[in-house]
């Protein structure tokens, strides 16, 4: 057994527990917190959102339902795209779309909430 095989094993182990791996883990945690946590804000703030928009709760509830339908359909599409173009590109695209949707929803009109 030569020294290069042993060194490769050590390098491989250090990559799993290294700085880059921890950075990726924290970024993943942040992305998942925002992407899975933001649809649940409707449950907590439905009454406040209804009062500020001056509309029925059914309008806000429909927006919440559209989020879950979009999550299901988008998950299927993004899984297919991840196989075709790669996971990193798909995650970056998805994170940008989540940010754009949340920014649009934050403008405060009913149509923006539906589209966002």
> Is it the case that residue 32 has pLDDT exceeding 80?
yes
pLDDT in tens, 67-101: 889 888 988 998 999 999 998 899 888 888 888 88
Q: How many CB atoms lie within 10 A of CB 105?
A: 19
% the chain with pLDDT above 90: 6
CA distances to 19, 24, 47, 56, 90 from 116, in Å: 35, 27, 19, 18, 19
Please give the Cα distance from 116 to 111 (Å, whole number): 8
Reported pTM: 0.65
If one compares 13 and 85, the residue with the highest pLDDT of the two is 85
Please give the Cα distance from 54 to 45 (Å, whole number): 14
């Amino acid at each position: 057994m030569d020294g290069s095989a042993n060194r490769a094993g050590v390098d491989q182990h250090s990559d799993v527990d290294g700085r880059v791996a921890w950075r990726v883990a924290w970024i993943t945690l942040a992305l998942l917190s925002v992407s899975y946590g933001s649809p649940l804000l409707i449950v907590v703030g439905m009454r406040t959102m209804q009062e500020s928009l001056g509309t029925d709760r059914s309008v806000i509830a429909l927006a919440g339902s559209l989020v879950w339908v979009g999550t299901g359909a988008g998950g299927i599409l993004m899984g297919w795209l991840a196989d075709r173009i790669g996971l990193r590109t798909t995650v970056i695209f998805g994170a940008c779309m989540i940010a754009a949707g949340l920014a649009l929803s934050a403008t405060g009109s009913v149509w923006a909430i539906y589209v966002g």
